[in-house]
Chains A and B, each alone.
Chain A
Amino acid sequence: MKTLLTLIFSLAVITAVAQGKNYEAAMTAALEKMKSSETVANFQQAANTFERISITETKEWLPLYYASYSMIVISYFDQDVNKKDAYLDKAQQFLDKAFKIAPDESELYSLQAFLYPSRITVDPMGRGMEYMPKMNAAIDKAIALNPENPRSYYLRAITLFNMPEQFGGGADAARPHFETAKEKFDRFEPKSPLHPNWGKEINEMEMQKL
C-alpha cells in the first residue's frame, strides 16, 4: 500500500514538474519565435501559441500579455481600419483577462497604453479626444504601480515625439522622457527571463532621431 502511495505521489510530482517545465519551455520557445517575428503571419503564430498556453495556464498573466502584445503589433501592421479594430478588440480581450489575474501589474497598464494609440490611428479626429486621456491615465497608473518600469516612460516619450508641437508634442517635449526611459532601461532587470523586457533598443533608435 505504501509503495502504491509513493508511486502515485511520485507520479503526481513528475507530472507537475513536467507540466511546469513544459510551461517554461513552451513560453521560452514562443518568446524566441515572437522576438524573431517580422511579418503579420509570424506575429499571428506567436499570438496563437501564447493564446493556447493561456487557455491551459489560467493563473499566468504572461501568456495573455504576449498574446495581446502580438495582436497590438499586428494592428500596427494592418492598414485596413476595420481589421485593425478587430485585432485590437482581440488584444483588449486578452488584456482584460490578464488584468483579472494580475490587477496591479504595471506591465499590463503599459501594454494598455501601447494599445490605445493604435485605436487612435483608425480615426485620429474622432478618437484622439477619447483615447489620449485614457492612454495618459494608463501610463500614470503604470508608473504609480512600478516607477522602475521603463516601458511606461518610453511610451510617453514616443507618443509625445509623434504628436505635433501645437498639441504639446515634438522632440523637445519628448526628450526628457526618452532620457528617463533610457536610464530606467539601463537599470532594468526582468523578474524572470519570461517577464516583459522589450523597448530598450527601440528607445535608443528613436533617440537618434531627436
Chain B
Amino acid sequence: MKIRLIILFQFLILFAHAQVKISGVVLSESGSPITGVNIFIQGTYDGATSDSLGVFLFKTETSGEQTLIASCVGFETYGQSLNLTGNISDLEIVLIEEISELDEVIINAGTFEASDKKKSVVLKPLDVALTAGANGDIFGAFGKLPGSHTVGEEGRLFVRGGESYETKTFMDGMLVNTPYYSKMPDLPTRGRFSPLLFNGSVFSTGGYSAEYGQALSSIVALNTVALEPETKSSISVLSVGLQGSHSKRWENTSLSISAEYLNTALSNKIFKQNIEWLKVPVIVGSTMLFRHKTSETGMIKSFASFNYDTSSLLYDNFEQSAFQEVSLGNKNLYSNTTYNEMLNDDWMIQTGVAANIDRENIDIDSNNITTSRNSSQLKLKLANYSIKDVTTSFGAEALIYKYDQEIDMDGNFNLSFSNNLFAGFAESEWKVTKNLAVKGGVRTQYNSLINELNVTPRLSAAVKTSKNSQLSTAFGKFFQNPNDDYLKFTDELSPETSTHSILTWQYKKDSRTLRIEAYNKNYSDLVKFDEEFSAEPGNYNNMGSGYSRGIDIFWRDKKEFGKSDYWVSYSWIDSKRNYRDFPQKVTPHYVSEHNLSVVYKQFFTKINSFISGSYTFASGRPYNNPNTPEFMAGKTKTYNDVSLGFTHIFYLFNTQTVAHVIVNNALGFNNVFGYNYAQTPDNNGVYQSQPIVPGQKRLIVFLLSFQL
C-alpha cells in the first residue's frame, strides 16, 4: 500500500515536470499578423505574447484537456480546448476584431450629437459654448449647423422649412415648454439655459426617435451634467451684468446654484441702438442643480430654474402708422427631477417629473395681455438589453397643459383651454451585423382637448459602405397640436402632420467628417384661417399643406490640440406652404434658399488664448409687398455676418481668470430681415414700407470670470 502510494506520488511529481511546447501564429480575419496578443493556458501562468510576426511559443507543465485563451486589446477574446499530450506546433489562431465605437455603424440620419462620452460625435459640448456668433446660446450654436435657417429677428431655431414652434426642446428627456425668453416684436430672443449646464446634446433635424412627439420639424435634447467634479465658486463680471455660481461636491452628491443679473443699460449707451428703450432689458435668473448617485449606475438629478425678465420700448408700428409703448414682463419657473438606473444587467429605468410655470405680461399702450402657460409632465421609460445586439425601449408619458389668456383691450376677454396628452412609445434597435443596424418604433398619443388618438411609425437604418463611411436613412410620421394661438379659439382642429424621409451619407476618417444629407418633408393638416386673431371658431381649419426638400452638407476638420479646427455647413432648401391666410402655396418669409456657416477655432497655447470666428451667409428671404399683385414676391438682400470671439486665460490677484470678448457683426453689414408695410396706401396709392433691421449694428460683450 505504502509503496504504491509513494510510486503514485513520485509519478505525480514526475508528471508535473513533464513539459509540452505550444507554438503558433495569431492572425486577423484578413490574414495579417497580430502583435502583442496574450496567449495562455487558462488557470496557469503559462503563456506568451505574440511577436511582430504574430508568432508565439511557450512551454507548459499542465496536461490533458486544457483551454487556450488568446486576448488582445481591440479583438474579441478567443478560446480553444487543447489536449496536451505532446508538443503542439503550427497552431493558427484567428482573432475577430472587436467592433469599436469608431468602426461601428450608427443610425444618425437627421441627427447631430454633441457629447463628451462618445468618441464618434462630430461636436463636443465646448463647441456649443465657444462658437463665435452663437453668443453662448445653445440654439445659437445649433443655428450654425446645416438644416437651420438664419432668422435674425427671431433668435429661435427654424429647421428645414419649419416654424420655430415645430422644434421642441427636452432636458434629460423631459419637455421644456418655454425654452426661450419672451420676445419683443422684431427683436431676437435667446435660450434660457447656459450651455455649460449640459455635457451632451442632440440636435435632430428630422426623423427622430419615437420617444419624442409633438414636434413637427425637429427636437433639441439636452442632457445635464452628472456630479460636479469638485467644490468651486466663480464670479463673472460682464459688460451686461453679473453672474455667480457655487458648486459643492460630496462623495456621491453634488449641489450647485447660480444666479445672474443682466442689464443692457451700459452696453446700449456704448453701442448705438435702433430701438428706443423706455426701460432697458433686465433679466434676473437663478438655477439649482442637485445630483445624487444612488449606485454605480443610478442617478437622481434635480434641476430648477427661475427667470424674470422685463423691458419696455417705443415700437414703431408701421402697419398701423403709430408709435406704441410696448412693455414685456415674463416670469418662468421650470423644474424637473429624473431618476435613471440599471435595475440589473438587462433592464434600465428612466423616469421623471417636470413642471413649467410661465406667465407673460404684455402691455401695449396700457392695453394688457396676460398669458399663463402651465404644464406638468410625468414620464417613464424602460430599456431592455436581454437580447444580444438588440435594444428595446418603451414607455409612457402624460402631459397636463393649461393655457389661460386675459386680454384687457376694448373690453375684457378670457381665452383658456386645458389639454391633457397621453402618449406611449416603443422602439427597438437591432445591430444585425457590424455593418448593418435597423430601428423601428411606434408612437401613439391621445389628446383630451381635440379628442383624437394618433399612431405614428418611425423607421431608420444604417449600413456601412466602407471602413470609414456609412449610409443612413430615416422615415417617420409626426403629429403636433396646433399652436396655442389657434387652440385658444377653437377645439375643432386636428393635429398638424408631417412625414420625413431622410438619406444621409457620412464619411469620417481621423480628424475629418463629411456629411451629406438629402430630405423630403411633407406637411398636411396645417392650420389655415381667413382672418388672424379671429375669435370665430369657424375661421380655422386644417386645410393647409406644404413641403420642404433640400440638401444639407457638413464638413469638419478637427486637428489635434493647438492646431486649427473648423467646420463648414451649407444647406439648400426648396420649401413652400399654403397655411395661415396664404392665398396660395409660397415660400414662407423665414426660409432662405441658401444658408452657409463657417466656424473656425484655434487655441494658442503659448499665449493661453483661444480664438473663434464665424461667417454666416443666408440668401434673401421672401416678403410680401402689397404694391405688387403677386403674393410674397419680394426678396430681401442677402444676410452676412462675421462674428469673433477671443478668450484669454491668466492670473489676476492669484486667481485664475478668464477674459472673454465677443464681437457680433464685426464688419458692420447692414442686414435687413424683411419689411413692414403700412396697412393703407398713401396718397399716391403706394404702400410705404420700413425695413426690419437688427437692434444694433455691432454688439460687443466683455466678460471677466474669476474661479474662486
Contact = CB atoms under 8 A, between A and B. Distances in A.
Given A82-B100, A90-B73, A127-B116, A41 B45 contact: no
A126 B649 contact: no
Interface string B117-142: 00100001110000000000000000
B116 A52 contact: no
A208 interface: no
B36 A82 contact: no
B38 to A, nearest CB: 4
Listed residue (B1, B49, B125, B126) with the most chain A CB atoms within 10 angstroms of its CB: B49
A115 to B, nearest CB: 15
A192 interface: no
Interface string A156-175: 00000000111110000000
Interface string B68-79: 000101100000
Nearest to B125: A126
Interface in B37-68: 38, 40, 42-49, 51-52
A55 to B, nearest CB: 8
B230 A166 contact: no
Contacts of B9: 7, 11
Interface residues of A, number: 42
Interface in A1-36: 3-4, 7, 11, 22, 26
Contacts of A197: none
Contacts of B102: 82
B45 A48 contact: no
Contacts of B124: 123, 125-126
Interface in B560-617: 560-561, 603, 605, 608
A53 B73 contact: no
A74 B195 CA distance: 36
Interface string A110-143: 0000000000000111110110011011000000
A72 to B, nearest CB: 13
A179 interface: no
B2 interface: yes
Interface string A36-63: 0000110011011101110110000000
B174 to A, nearest CB: 25
A7 B45 contact: no
B656 A168 contact: yes
Contact of A11 (B12, B46, B649): B12
Range for the number of chain B residues in contact with chain A: 35 or more
Nearest to B610: A125
B49 A45 contact: yes
A85 interface: yes
Given A45-B49, A86-B100, A133 B561 contact: no
A41 to B, nearest CB: 7
A124 B116 contact: no
Contacts of B603: 125
B656 A126 contact: no
A69 interface: no
A26 B45 contact: yes
Given A53-B45, A56-B43, A165 B651 contact: yes
Contacts of B116: 126-127, 130
Nearest to A124: B561
Contacts of A7: 5-6, 9
B15 interface: no
B86 interface: no
Nearest to B47: A52
B5 A86 contact: no
A87 interface: yes
A133 B36 CA distance: 33
A137 B230 contact: yes
Contacts of B689: none
B229 interface: yes
Contacts of B317: none
Contacts of A4: 1, 5
A189 B502 CA distance: 66
B36 A41 contact: yes
12 contacts: A7-B6, A26-B45, A44-B36, A56-B44, A56-B45, A83-B74, A90-B73, A133-B229, A136-B230, A137-B230, A164-B608, A167-B656
Given A56-B44, A164-B608, 12 more contacts: A26-B45, A47-B38, A48-B38, A48-B49, A49-B47, A52-B44, A56-B43, A82-B119, A86-B73, A90-B73, A123-B561, A168-B651
Interface of A: 3-4, 7, 11, 22, 26, 40-41, 44-45, 47-49, 51-53, 55-56, 81-83, 85-87, 89-90, 123-127, 129-130, 133-134, 136-137, 164-168
